Amino acid sequence: MKRWTLVFTLLLAMTGVLVAAAPANAAERQRCFPETGYCVSGAILRYWERNGGLPVFGYPISELRVETVENWTGPVQWFERDRLEDHGSVGVLAGRLGAQVLESQGLSWQSLPRPDSAPQGCRFFPETGHSLCGTFLEYWERNGGLMRFGYPISEPMTETLPNGDELWTGTVQYFERRRMEYHPELAGTRYEVLLGLLGRDVYTLYTSAKDRCAAPAPLLGPTVRAYPDILGCPAPFPAVLFSAASQRFERGAMYWIPIAPLYAWRYTGNIWVVFYDNARGSLVWQVYASRWREGMPENGGLTPPPGLFEPIRGFGEVWRSVPSLRETLGWAVEPEQADRTIMQYFQSGAYVIYRVNSDRVYILKPDKTAEDIPRIR
């Protein structure tokens, strides 16, 4: 009897050891990505794998950490194309990055054009007033629909987006959580519709660490890399191929770049002024808000000397309203010229403005000095 008691006691002890060891052996599986140096595990890894993996979400670009997002605080991990949030019993949800990207550019999705009714064969969403058609509708329905993308918050529209050091122009549509991009050259393949790298862009925008720089704007990579100590880290979301205007003066130049429509009720753009300052022995720059809009007087009725011009519209409004600027610049030496521009802001406080027509770049430094150089290739 004592022998069986001893055996039973030993079995209980062994069972206790096995039970105690179980949690260690059942540690959560993780998957690490040398491409970015981050690992994914737990509920977020399961969600990532079950809902498309790399093509849908991209690589992880942060560790799992606690963040506060829209009045909710919990575990969050960032990916190239998404932000995944672990809401516990509710499950893993994707972040509202589509809306956030528009907001970061000064655009309210509520102000974007809406159709009066959805075309035949399309689906209309009264919640946002936007429709979903064709290839984008097929992709939305096939790849998770409302849970994955949210409601559409724009109609399809043409955008020019960075693509490495080049530009890509095509049809896109914004959703609460994503941006779809249509690539007709890849029709018939799984890549006909691609998802924008919104996770990367938003993460870079809201992370101030110096080692997390956005990419230089398309066409500006070599120029930006030639000024690392002056410019520092580029900020995301450069203005790419915006309409612009330029005008040369006797002692300087003006350059107008429009702003996002959300703020157009107050002013219509920024006017950048560049001139040579004898006191500093350098080109310098200043920036003014333009409040001129259609319907206002185009000029002040002034008579310039022969061969010179009175600036008109926004240039004229700023030139006339700031006497010191008028004295500094003198009269315009040519009429206003239409242009296209790429502009990028830098965390140092600097700006780079590429003027497409002249193929030249303003390097606008944080100390208010400037350089006017040919674009570096």
Cα separation, 179 vs 153, in Å, equals 10
279 and 327 inside one domain = yes
Q: How far apart are the first and last CA of the chain?
A: 92
> Strand pairing partners for 158?
171
pLDDT confidence of residue 89: 86
- Cα 288 to its chain centre, rounded Å, is 24
- Same domain for 168 and 270, yes or no, is no
Q: For residues 253 and 352, state if they share a domain.
A: yes
Using 50 as the pLDDT threshold, list the residues of the chain that sit under it.
1-25, 208-211, 260-267
The rounded distance, in Å, linking the Cα atoms of 101 and 259 is 16
Place of tokens 């700006």: 351
130 is a domain residue: yes
244 and 184, same structural domain?
no
Q: Is residue 79 part of a domain?
A: yes
Tell me: do 244 and 352 sit in the same domain.
yes
- Residue 370: the pLDDT is 97
For residue 161, the model assigns a pLDDT of 79
Q: Do 291 and 354 sit in the same domain of this protein?
A: yes
Q: Are residues 82 and 103 located together in one domain of the fold?
A: no
Which of 192, 119, 182, 114 has its CA nearest to residue 151?
114
Q: Are 161 and 237 contained in the same domain? A: no
Q: Is residue 289 part of a domain?
A: yes
Residue 43 Ramachandran class (φ > 0 left, ψ -120 to 50 alpha, else beta)? alpha
Contact 73, 97 (CB under 8 A): no
Q: What is the pLDDT of residue 68?
A: 82
CA torsion angle 113 116 120 124 (round to 10): 70
User: Which structure tokens are listed for 225?
Assistant: 């890399």
Of 256, 237, 232, whose CA–CA distance to 245 is shortest?
256
Distances (CA, A) of 358 to 74, 97, 131, 309, 335: 50, 36, 41, 21, 16
Q: Is residue 5 part of a domain?
A: no
Domain assignment present for residue 15? The answer is no
- The DSSP element (H or E) to which 306 belongs, if any, is none
Q: d(Cα 38, Cα 31) in Å, to the nearest integer? A: 9
| pLDDT for residue 27 | 63
Tokens representing 84? 């995944």
Alpha-carbon distance of 347 to 351, in angstroms, equals 9
What is the count of structural domains for the chain? 3
Whole domain around residue 175: which residue ranges?
Answer: 99-205
Nearest to 40 by CA among 10, 6, 64, 76: 64
Answer yes or no: is 332 within a domain: yes
Residue 241 lies in a domain: yes
End residue of a domain, out of 94, 110, 144 = 94
Which residue matches tokens 């011009």? 309
Give per-residue burial for 192-205: e unless 16+ CB within 10 Å, then b.
bbbbbbbbbbbbbb
My answer on whether 225 and 200 are in the same domain is: no
Instruction: Tell me whether residue 264 is exposed, middle or buried, using C-beta atoms within 10 angstroms of its C-beta: 0 to 12, 13 to 18, 19 or more.
Output: middle
Same domain, 73 and 170: no
Q: How far apart are CA 173 and CA 158, in angstroms?
A: 9
**Cα-based angle 355, 356, 359 (whole degrees, multiple of 5):** 80
Residue type, 171: T
Domain for residue 19, yes or no? no
Q: Where are the alpha helices (DSSP H) in the chain?
A: 2-25, 42-50, 53-57, 97-104, 134-142, 145-149, 198-205, 221-225, 228-231, 313-321, 323-329
Residue in the block written with tokens 């075309």: 119
